[in-house]
Amino acid sequence: MTQKTEQAKWPQPDPALNGNALHQLQAEFMAHWQQIAQAAQQGTLPPLTDRRFSSPAWQNSPQHFMMAHLYLLSTETLKKMIEETTPPGPVRERLRFSVEQWNDAMSPANYFLTNPDALQAFSDTGGESLQKGFLNLLGDLRKGQISQSDESSFEVGHNLATTPGSVVFENPWFQLLQYAPQTPTVYRRPLLMVPPCINKYYILDLQAGNSLVEYAVSQGFTVFMISWRNPMATDTDGIQASSWDDYIEKGVLTAIDTVQQITGQKQINALGFCVGGTMLGSALAVARARGDNPVASVTLLTTLLDFDDTGILDVFVDEAHAAYREQLLGQGGLMTARELATTFSFLRPNELVWNYVVSNYLKGNAPPAFDLLFWNADGTNLPGPFFTWYFRNMYLENKLCRPGVLKVCSEPVDLSDLDMPAYVYGSKDDHIVPWKASFASARLLSGPVRYVLGASGHIAGVINPPARNRRNYWSNEAVEPRQSEPQAWFDQARSVPGSWWPDWAAWLGGHSGRKVKARSEQGAAGFPVLQAAPGQYVKVRA
């Protein structure tokens, strides 16, 4: 739980050691180069497991196959140079990130003349593949982003975000959705979901059968959802000047109060996902500082409360970047969805950038229809003051995890005040919220915590419907996060096949009170139905 403004003084490298390491790397590189050249002459180059070069076209073209081997040798040598000659710390991490970006960009698979798959497609189609690829490129240039999914196959409210419900409240920051019951009886205590405002809420309500909202409603929970407004450059009501405090006070806390009034429940359950979890934790700490206790249980999905370890995003976090953003956006304006999307895509460039460059442009393929990737391209803008405050106080200075240091809505917040039961989920391969960071965040809560670790990444680990019977998760009923370090917890955990959703539903049911007859109408006196779900805010495209 350190401040990242307190830069460590890293030891200076020993020039002799660096010289020896470089000499050794050079010798190894030349020896391996000669081995590859000799094997290529003899036709004995081994197959490559790297999926960029695993197709038969690479092995059937000796020149291209040798090029792929030499490329991988070069990238591995560059990585070793960073590790051997750079002292640990921010400099090494940034060099590593920069070199990996360069390595990925320079792959021979990314260029038409050095990709035998693309050349074979050109030959097989009489040039039509390259013509289609050029048209795909022109379309993406007009759109301003690489197409990752067939966007014509999806429409929000038609085959995405289709769980039946109504908008029962609206202000300039969010619309509140209440979903219709799908069971004769429902748990008395409702559930409010707080999604990240950096994305649209329907990541939790994708296609039928792939929706956490649909699943929760089918289990007898009365579910409410915050649908954040997507601020636009053309808006004239001041939304672009909104602060973190605005989103906490007029967003999360207002939503909690509204759900209480609609359902008549003094306490509700709440779930936060990613940045939504950070906002929810902040809001509940504000409520506790005011003497309120509106939430009986909290669920946090891939959430950072302790920002000491932010994984690969750490390369962007320093005082200079924070000051630049504050000068540019601190008084108003927008952190655009396009810039956010580009940043996140280049955290995994092979999967989210170059993969589509090769398929869409070099081979002329149309991207397949994929609901999650459609959502990924349907981004949101963020008000500049909100973003800059969040970046400095969370990512740079890591204040939220230190009791009483950070003021939110004029209240000094202390996460240890949150003593309600908590279900905290992390994803094992999450590159945005490393699982050990989510584990560290769970340790800040003082109530009973059930920590569950799911397989896969930031999104795919969360969206894992039970019917598909995919992946697995780890749990450790004997040890809570406060009693263990993350690796020790994992070493003692048991692996459970399939989705973590039933485990969470069983836990949540234990904190939701008895069941009562379901009401057929949404809203209540003073909170009339304004329109059908999914509402209008979610349909505004950046």
- 279-327 pLDDT, tens digit per residue, is 999 999 999 999 999 999 999 999 999 999 998 899 999 999 999 999 9
Please state which CATH number belongs to domain 165-336+381-539. Answer: 3.40.50.1820
Q: Furthest-apart CA pair in the chain: how many Å?
A: 82
What is the spatial distance between Cα 349 and Cα 352, in angstroms, rounded to a whole number? 5
Tokens describing residue 433: 């919220």
Instruction: Tell me what pLDDT residue 12 has.
Output: 53
Characterise 61 by phi-psi region: left (phi > 0), alpha (psi -120 to 50), beta (else). beta
The catalytic site residues sit at 274
Q: In the numeric block, which tokens belong to residue 416?
A: 């240890």
Q: Which residue in 183, 190, 169, 163 sits closest to 525, CA to CA? A: 169
Q: Which two tokens stand for residue 429?
A: 């391969």
Per-residue pLDDT, averaged over 377-403, amounts to 97
Residue 395: alpha-carbon gap to chain centroid: 15
- 396-406: pLDDT as tens digits: 999 999 999 99
Give the separation between CA 348 and CA 138, rounded to whole angstroms: 24
Residue with tokens 């006196």: 525
In this prediction, residue 398 carries a pLDDT of 98
Picking from 141-150, 279-288, 377-386, which range would have the lowest pLDDT averaged per residue? 141-150
Report the chain's mean pLDDT, rounded to a whole number: 94
What local confidence, expressed as pLDDT, does residue 13 receive? Answer: 53
pLDDT at residue number 148: 93
Residue-wise pLDDT tens digits, 437-447: 999 999 999 99
Instruction: Please give the Cα distance from 377 to 369 (Å, whole number).
Output: 12
Conformation bin of residue 484: beta by default, left when phi > 0, alpha when psi is -120 to 50: beta
Q: Are 300 and 269 in contact (CB under 8 A)?
A: no
Note whether 457 and 427 are within 8 A (CB).
yes
Question: Smallest Cα–Cα separation from 256: which of 501, 265, 441?
Answer: 265
- H helices of 264-401, where? 275-289, 319-329, 337-345, 349, 355-356, 371-377, 384-390
pLDDT at 84: 84
Q: Specify the pLDDT at position 14.
A: 53
Sign of CA dihedral 123, 126, 132, 134: positive
Instruction: Give pLDDT, residue 68.
Output: 97
Cα→Cα distances 291→247, 284, 294, 413, 417, Å: 20, 11, 10, 12, 10
Average pLDDT over residues 229-238: 95
Is pLDDT above 90 for 88?
Answer: no
pTM of the model: 0.93
The strand pair at 449-454 and 422-427 is best described as: parallel
Q: Tell me: pLDDT of 6 over 50.
A: no
| 454 Cβ neighbours under 8 A, 6+ residues apart | 425, 426, 427, 428, 461, 462, 464, 471, 472, 473, 474, 500
* H-helix or E-strand spanning residue 474: strand 472-475
Beta bridge partners of 299: 271, 423
pLDDT at 4: 59
Q: How far is CA 422 from each of CA 165, 263, 481, 498, rounded to the nearest angstrom? A: 27, 22, 11, 22
CB 175 within 8 A of CB 169: yes
Q: Distance between CA 447 and CA 72 in Å, rounded?
A: 49
Instruction: Please say whether the beta carbons of 383 and 241 come within 8 A.
Output: yes
Domain boundaries, the chain: 15-118, 165-336+381-539
Q: Say which residues have a Cβ less than 8 Å from residue 27's Cβ, sequence separation at least 6.
A: none
CA distance 200 to 421: 27
3-state secondary structure of 339: helix
**Cβ neighbours of residue 110 under 8 Å, at least 6 residues apart?**
354, 357, 358, 362
Alpha carbons within 13 A on the beta-carbon side of 126: 0
- Residue 380: closest CA among 202, 231, 206, 244: 231
Calpha distance 255→278 (Å, rounded): 15
532 contacts 169 by C-beta, under 8 angstroms: no
End-to-end alpha carbon distance in the chain: 35
Q: How confident is the model at residue 142 (pLDDT cuts 50, 70, 90)?
A: very high
Which residue reads 């649909």 in tokens?
A: 214
What tokens were used for 111? 């260029």
Helix (H) or strand (E) holding 71: helix 62-85
Helix residue ranges, H only, 125-243: 128-143, 212-218
